[in-house]
Structure 1
Amino acid sequence: PLEERFPKPPLPDKADGIVVLGGGFEGAINLARGGYELNSGGDRMVETAILARRFPQAKVVVSGGNGELFLDGEGDADTAPRLLGALGVAPDRLILENKSR
């Protein structure tokens, strides 16, 4: 509902940083398999890769620790480098925060 309430703003001409909040990965599956399984919020990670390509000088901040309440899982900031790397985002552009829930 929130996304539908407001129009999508235009992108700026320049960006120094891109911030993506966690919640886009299946932490338990990724911990077990070492992959980057996405959930219904995974579009935020795909959009991050798209923005990183559009703004190649921008740093990418990924926030997201283990949000699993009952199962062990891998935090989004631990999984994101595998997906973003596979999509062409250099590791030296990433700033990872993996303690938040």
Structure 2
Amino acid sequence: MEGIVVFLLLLAVVIQIPIAIYVHYDAEHRNLEHAEMYSLGVLLPLGGLPVIPVYFAKRTELPRRSAAERESAGETRGTTTKTKLLFLAGILSWFLLVQLVRTGFLS
């Protein structure tokens, strides 16, 4: 039983992380407000899976940032440091959760 749980958690990570990265860059490319919010929504442990179809269905209707807003925030090029740190924290939390399950600490 423990092996199945670990496998399912790892499978969720393998599915969610690349999709979250794609969603983030897609949101940045479309100049959406709070692009990191959508990618972090995808990274939520198992709860993020329903966010994926909602994002892709609504992404053309989501609010966009103006050029003036991007310039005033200092985000004229690339991903912000805050977003990169949030991605790293999400990935590390997944690996920590997997290790806790594997060691039996959460059993």
TM bucket normalised to smaller: under 0.3
- What is the TM-score of this pair, normalised by structure 1? 0.27
- What is the TM-score of this pair, normalised by structure 2? 0.26
Q: Which has the larger radius of gyration?
A: 2
Structure (1/2) with the larger helix percentage: 2
Structure (1/2) with the larger strand percentage: 1
